[in-house]
Amino acid sequence: MDLKLNDKGVVVLASSKGLGKACVREFAREGARVMLTGRTEDTLKQAASEIQAETSQEVFWKVCDVTKPTEINALIEAAKKKLGRIDVLVTNTGGPPAGTFDSMKDEDWQLGFDLVLMSMIRAIRAALPELKKNGGRIVNIASSSVKEPVDNLILSNTFRMGIAGLAKTLAAEFGPDGILINTVGPGRIATDRTKHLDEKKAAQAGRSFEQVREENTAVIPAGRYGTPEEFAKQVVFLGSWANTYVTGQTLLVEGGMIKAY
Ligand SMILES: NC(=O)c1ccc[n+]([C@@H]2O[C@H](COP(=O)([O-])OP(=O)(O)OC[C@H]3O[C@@H](n4cnc5c(N)ncnc54)[C@H](OP(=O)(O)O)[C@@H]3O)[C@@H](O)[C@H]2O)c1
């Protein structure tokens, strides 16, 4: 299948590691010009040179904390200059802090909102003129919590629902401009985030990390955690020109773990 991504300009937020980085790698493999972002210059430089060496595709990077509106605007301006155009925006964030209702103060709720939802709204707003001009694609990275809440992750469970609602609404608002917008929800993909959550759960429950991994894996019909590459391939399809008619949808990549429709 020709994804028609050659020379397209792609910005992936929060992409120095994990799922975002895997998306950058897959877009670069398809010949796109990609901008990597994250908060740490050293990690960005390292990720860019690694992907460049693997794909022979020039990869650009810029420091951007997605909770800071001015940094999002500066990123989009830099991407326009470096990539020449923005055709695809992949919105991603770091995971919000884990915890239950009792453990969250106003500051935590505000951080969850700014990090998970407002960052995506701001990035879409900043990139919109380019996306309208090019009949672009937007793919939001959310969570399987869009369909079924995850224990001890109340900030994710609350604000990711907003991403799905936003995308469904924008699919209608941006449809006449030729923009397609979709949401992809990961469930137990092996990254630093799942490692951190599993370590935390093990410490809280007084069990070993291996025991927690075993219990978590037992409820996944695929019998294992997914890989970032498996996840990224779905993002790249939805963010490509092989996708011409899927918009406003939420796709889970979770090995069959979620029972909800
Ligand atoms: N992996 C899964 O199975 C899974 C399941 C459900 C939901 N998710 C969600 O999917 C998203 C990506 O997960 P992941 O597994 O790839 O996580 P990860 O491995 O921890 O990577 C997170 C990435 O986000 C960047 N980042 C963190 N905070 C940022 C900020 N404020 N501004 C800009 N960049 C920031 C990190 O780089 P720096 O720290 O250098 O900035 C890193 O590149 C997260 O929101 C996570 O909660 C993942």
Atom of ligand 1 nearest to the CA of 190: 1
Query: Is 175 found in the same domain as 85?
Result: yes
Cα 36 to ligand 1 centroid, rounded to whole Å? 13
Query: Is 247 found in the same domain as 198?
Result: no
Residue in this structure with the two tokens 């770091």, named with its chain if needed: 94
For the CA atoms of 188, 193, 197, 200, the dihedral, rounded to the nearest 10 degrees, stands at 150
What is the largest distance, in Å, between two alpha-carbon atoms of the chain? 54
Query: Is 176 found in the same domain as 51?
Result: yes
Rounded-to-integer distance, Cα 207 and Cα 165, Å: 37
Give the DSSP per-residue string, 130-199. Answer: HHHHHT-EEEEE--GGGTSPPTTBHHHHHHHHHHHHHHHHHHHHHGGGT-EEEEEEE-SBSSHHHHHHHH
Cα 3 to ligand 1 centroid, rounded to whole Å? 26
Give the DSSP letter of residue 39: S
Atom of ligand 1 nearest to the CA of 115: 31
Q: What is the per-residue pLDDT for 128?
A: 98
Q: What is the per-residue pLDDT for 33?
A: 98
Query: Is 239 found in the same domain as 218?
Result: no
Q: For residue 1, is it within any domain?
A: no
Return the half-sphere exposure (C-beta side, CA atoms, 13 A cut-off) of residue 48: 19
Q: For residue 52, is it within any domain?
A: yes
Q: In total, how many domains does the chain have? A: 2
Query: Is 62 found in the same domain as 36?
Result: yes
Atom of ligand 1 nearest to the CA of 144: 6
Q: For residue 261, is it within any domain?
A: no
Cα 152 to ligand 1 centroid, rounded to whole Å? 17
Query: Is 123 found in the same domain as 236?
Result: yes
Q: At what angle do helices 154-174 and 119-134 cross, to 10 degrees?
A: 20
Q: Could you list the mean pLDDT of each consecutive 10-residue stretch along the chain, which spans 261 residues? A: 97 98 98 98 98 97 98 98 98 97 98 98 98 98 97 97 98 98 98 96 95 97 98 98 98 97 90
Query: Is 212 found in the same domain as 106?
Result: no
Cα 79 to ligand 1 centroid, rounded to whole Å? 20
Query: Is 201 found in the same domain as 143?
Result: no
- Write the residue with the smallest CA distance to atom 19 of ligand 1: 18
The CATH number of the domain where 149 resides is what? 3.40.50.720
Q: For residue 3, is it within any domain?
A: no
Could you tell me which of 169, 190, 141 has the C-alpha nearest to residue 12?
141
Atom of ligand 1 nearest to the CA of 15: 43
Beta-bridge partner residues of 142? none
Query: Is 165 found in the same domain as 61?
Result: yes
- Strand 250-253 relative to strand 88-91, pairing: unpaired
The alpha carbon of residue 95 and the mean position of all alpha carbons in its chain are separated, in whole angstroms, by 10
Q: For residue 258, is it within any domain?
A: no
Give ligand 1 pocket residues (Cβ under 6 A): 14-20, 38-40, 43, 64-67, 92-95, 115, 141, 143-144, 186-189, 191-194
Q: What is the per-residue pLDDT for 5?
A: 98
Query: Is 209 found in the same domain as 132?
Result: no
In the chain, beta strands by DSSP E:
9-12, 33-38, 59-63, 88-91, 137-141, 180-186, 250-253
Q: For residue 98, is it within any domain?
A: yes
- Write the residue with the smallest CA distance to atom 37 of ligand 1: 38
Site to substitute for ligand 1 among 21, 36, 39, 42, most atoms within 8 A of C-beta: 39
Beta-bridge partner residues of 186? 253
Query: Is 197 found in the same domain as 104?
Result: no
Cα 139 to ligand 1 centroid, rounded to whole Å? 15
Q: What is the per-residue pLDDT for 176?
A: 98
Q: Whole domain around residue 21: which residue ranges?
A: 9-189+227-253
Using the CB atoms, write b or e for 150-173: b if 16+ within 10 Å: beebbbbbbbbbbbbebbbebbee
Q: What is the per-residue pLDDT for 181?
A: 98
Angstrom CA distances, 93 to 99, 115, 126, 205, stand at 18, 7, 16, 27
Rounded-to-integer distance, Cα 31 and Cα 43, Å: 23
- Write the residue with the smallest CA distance to atom 39 of ligand 1: 39
Query: Is 120 found in the same domain as 240?
Result: yes
Q: For residue 96, is it within any domain?
A: yes
